[in-house]
Amino acid sequence: MSKDSSKTEKLLERIAAALERRYARAEEAKFTLDGADAFIWEADGAHLVPVKQVSALPLGLLKGIDRARDTLNENTRRFASGLPANNALLWGARGMGKSSLVKAVHAEVNKGQKPSERLALIEIPREDIASLPHLLRRLRTLNRRFLLFCDDLSFDRDDTSYKSLKAALEGGVEGRPANVLFYATSNRRHMMPRDMMENERSTAINPSEAVEEKVSLSDRFGLWLGFHHCGQDEYLAMIEAYAAHFKLSLDGEELHERALAWSATRGARSGRVAWQFIQDLAGSLGKTLQ
């Protein structure tokens, strides 16, 4: 090898090493978790987008879901304290506060905690579930505890990304990272449409095994918290709590009459309907919801 060739080779090696260090620093910068307690995972760029202000209601305002509220709060507190805790699936009726509960519990558990001890909430979009194993590998090396959250999680026919979720929840050979917990909400307990499961049963060589493959996903969640439609008393309790919290001065009887009329126009009673009524009421009274 000539002297010039040797110099060129060494120069190229230094350039390659510099580029590798720069790339590594850029990758780490994507996972800088300073200055925020909530993030959104973007799989395309493999980075976390900080959320400065989480839209979370005070935990005490969530009425009619007392058992689910207390169970999830206790599970999250254990995890934040370094104790064993379970992945949780919040399933059931639409508009009954499943996603609101996750955000409210996260905010409640972080109250009064030092910045280094605060849980980081990471929302992972449904369409990026296939990238979950990659995200877990990155989080495993970080000195912070993470609450991963996927809202409205469900799988349609021919969708195989649920296998990535199953593998991530089990953790494979390495096991699930000790600093990561996964919460998901879904309108269906097994996250699969009934016709999809019935089709698997009718066309598979071994129907029971085919269905078991789909149903077993929900078994990876240690906590199943069911949410059901609320009755009139629970609906009015939600309204009263919101009105008191936001100081919406209105006679109790009139408040109830207007709230029931609102639910009648929607054909439903739920936490979401109650919140929509409160927004309408606040607007009609010229008040802001702070």
pLDDT for the residue numbered 44: 86
- Structural element, H or E, at residue 26: helix 3-30
pLDDT, mean of residues 193-222: 57
Give 165-171's long-range contacts (Cβ < 8 A, gap of 24+).
165/129, 165/132, 165/217, 165/220, 166/216, 166/217, 166/220, 167/133, 168/132, 168/133, 168/136, 169/87, 169/220, 169/221, 170/220, 171/136
pLDDT bracket for residue 238 (50, 70, 90): very high
Residues 6+ apart with CB under 8 A from 167: 133
Q: Are strands 47-50 and 88-92 parallel, antiparallel or unpaired?
A: unpaired
Residues 6+ apart with CB under 8 A from 124: 41, 131, 132, 135, 148, 149, 150
Q: How many other β-carbons are positioned within 10 Å of the β-carbon of residue 97?
A: 28
Segment 80-109, tens digit of pLDDT: 999 999 999 999 989 999 999 999 999 999
Amino acid at 242: Y
Q: How far apart are CA 182 and CA 279, in angstroms?
A: 31
Percent of the chain with pLDDT over 90: 48
Q: At what angle do helices 162-170 and 132-140 cross, to 10 degrees?
A: 20
Segment 47-90, tens digit of pLDDT: 899 998 888 999 999 998 999 999 999 999 999 999 999 999 99
Q: How far apart are CA 115 and CA 88, in angstroms?
A: 25
Domain residue spans in the chain? Answer: 1-30, 59-227, 232-284
According to CATH, the superfamily of the domain at 59-227 is P-loop containing nucleotide triphosphate hydrolases (3.40.50.300)
* β-strand partners of 123: 40, 149
Q: Is 122 exposed, middle or buried (0-12, 13-18, 19+ CB in 10 A)?
A: buried
Percent of the chain with pLDDT over 70: 76
